[in-house]
Structure 1
Amino acid sequence: MKKYVHAFLAIACLSATTLRAEDAAAVELELKPHATNPLGYDKTELTVKKGVKVKLTLNNTGSAAPQPHNFILCKVGKLDAVGALANLMMTDVNGMAKGYIPENKEDILAHTMLVQIGQKETIEFTAPAEAGDYPYLCSFPGHWLLMRGVMHVTE
């Protein structure tokens, strides 16, 4: 019996000290268009811990040249691949209705829809489980080449 009590206590202690993604505090982030650069975000680097819940708001206000924007978080090393898909959206007659979000989402981890001038959208997602540098971009036609950044996911 004593053996079972010790085993139970050991398991209870281990499970109590394990930090699960759902136990981690949520991180709230806000991105806006850059105040003086119409094709840039106000933050080109964001940092979160792996597995944390992220609440990201894209607030499309305050830009020097107001235009619609979105936010797409890509897998590591997939900025150019997602950007190429964004370029193809320019010829899609339904591109605006689709928010200029590529149909092939294989390399996309999270995204907002197209946020109109003066509007904002909040999305919630879990940060990747692996540490790394995850690129993000705006896929509105012509924007992704300049309107981009990196989400650093750390241990």
Structure 2
Amino acid sequence: MKFRQILLTSAVALALSACGGQSPAPAADTAAPAADAAPAAEAAPADAAPAEAAPEAAAASKPAVVENCATTIEANDQMQYNADSITVPASCAQFTINLKHVGTMGANVMGHNVVIAAQSDMEGIDQDGAGVTPDHVKADDARVIAHTKVIGGGESTSVTFDVAKIKDGGPYKFFCSFPGHMTLMQGSIQVQ
């Protein structure tokens, strides 16, 4: 299963490079062979800094700012969210996640969404939804707590859900279900 995700991520990166897009993400993927990562770094030295920063960013927590039972998460053309955790106040009955795509690439090439689910369901949701709808989430998938539509550069969307759905069980995560993105674009969501 992990091999499929790596293969899919590599295919997306290859397609982007063929179209002139930039994708430093495969260079940051530690599961990819080092020989594959080196040519990408040599081909675009300007992209080396974000790719090298990714492991450091994963080690340092980037919690989302939460105000009035809502947060705004930004996604970019380098397959990254600006936050890796969301703490929902226990006093909230409903919570809203606003997603803003701060990149420039279209939804068909570098689209992003936010899907909320139990961590144990992520891989199945990602695989079952790949390519089935424009939002890459299978219709009526009971494992999905909430999700936004897929958006491209310069676009925004949001989703509001009942907090009770993530109070028990878990752990819960938010992630991007665009094919190949979940590996890099995910974070924890919890009620406190």
> Which category of TM-score, normalised to the shorter sequence, fits these structures?
0.5 to 0.7
Matched, 1:146 2:184: yes
Change (3 A) 1:82 1:68: same
Matched, 1:39 2:76: no
Q: Deviations over 1:21-51 (max 9, x none)?
A: xxxx9411011115xx711211011111347
Q: Partner letter of residue 89 of structure 2?
A: K
CA RMSD of aligned residues (A): 2.4
- From 99, 105, 123, the equivalent of 1:58 is 99
Structure 1: stretches of 5+ with no match in the other structure: 1-24
- From 139, 149, 152, the equivalent of 1:116 is 152
Does the CA-based 8 Å contact 1:47-1:152 persist in structure 2? yes
* TM-score under structure 2 length normalisation: 0.55
Does the CA-based 8 Å contact 2:84-2:186 persist in structure 1? yes
Does the CA-based 8 Å contact 1:130-1:153 persist in structure 2? no
Q: Which structure's residues are more often strand, by fraction?
A: 1
Matched, 1:137 2:175: yes
Q: Deviations over 1:41-79 (max 9, x none)?
A: 110111113472211100111x38662110100024222
Identity over aligned residues, as a percent?
Answer: 19
Change (3 A) 1:141 1:132: closer
* TM-score under structure 1 length normalisation: 0.66
Q: Which structure's residues are more often helix, by fraction?
A: 2
Give the structure with higher Rg (CA).
1
Number of residue pairs aligned between Structure 1 and Structure 2: 120
Does the CA-based 8 Å contact 2:101-2:152 persist in structure 1? yes
**Structure with the larger RCO, 1 or 2 (CA within 8 Å, 6+ apart):** 1
